[in-house]
A = this chain, B = another copy of it.
Amino acid sequence: MCRLVAYLGEPLRLKELILTPPHSLLVQGYAPHDMTAGLLNGDGFGLGWYDRRLRPQPFTYKNILPIWNDLNLPSLCDYLTSGCLLGYVRSATPGLAVDYSNCQPFVQNHLSAVHNGRVEHFRQTLYRPLRSRLTDEHDLNIQGLTDSEHLFAWILHHYKRTGDLAQALCDSFMTLLDLVPDLDVTFNFILIDGEQLIACRLAHGELHPVCTTCRDIPTIREWSCSEPLFRDDRWVRCPQGTVLVATQPDQVQVRHLPGSGATSVATHAVAP
């Protein structure tokens, strides 16, 4: 299971998420908490960030080295500045190559995404049914072998129909079970597009779901992480079945997946 971090708010230098917090993404690489599978996240990492004055598409940086061995990272993270960004450290599924193409974030047009989770027996179950249903556009964009990248293509496939990202997350998750009944899937995604941050915690089957926690400082900032970056009692744990939508400056909505116990879109109650 990988570890994710994302941020929406006033511009900050990437080191403020990646390097300097007590439980930064770097630390989550070699000393993660709460891992339900694997010991480390030492199989590469990636960053995605936006600067819409330069271009609408995200910028990305990926490396197959462990995050703690990238000698360029201190310099880059001290320079790179953004108000909409995400990061990821990888714990590779055994047998999958530690290749650049298997490294997140994945990008399509203005969107970038990271995924933490797993489709159990992905190649034997979901792989071919999913690919056969993708249109050329989304199939041909796939560069690697990971379940994560295929799930992202599936989300894009649904997003194209509705133009609503949060809806596409829900729809694409639910239709997986149409393709493969009884699929074991953990579907924790964070998507950003330069203006909003959408995170979900969805799962089906026997896998122990991984938590997605988040922090709100009202009126300014939104963080989503696999693990809190620092001690603070404003971190809250996303309940299972949740899709969280944050838009600037301070709008946060929470949707509950039908059948997950809550039925409507609610404004997220943020304790100051």
Contact = CB atoms under 8 A, between A and B. Distances in A.
Interface stretch (A53-61, A181-189, A241-249, A255-263): A53-61
Contact of A101 (B127, B136, B145): B145
Most chain B CB inside 10 Å of its own CB: which residue of A51, A75, A140: A75
Chain A contact residues: helix, strand, loop or mixed: mixed
A71 interface: yes
A30 B42 contact: yes
Interface string A30-70: 11000000011011000000010011000111111110110
Given A42-B66, A42-B68, A59-B75, 9 more contacts: A30-B39, A30-B40, A55-B78, A60-B72, A61-B72, A97-B101, A123-B140, A128-B136, A144-B145
A79 to B, nearest CB: 5
A80 interface: yes
A40 B40 contact: yes
Contacts of A80: 79
B43 A61 contact: no
Contacts of A43: 69
B78 A71 contact: no
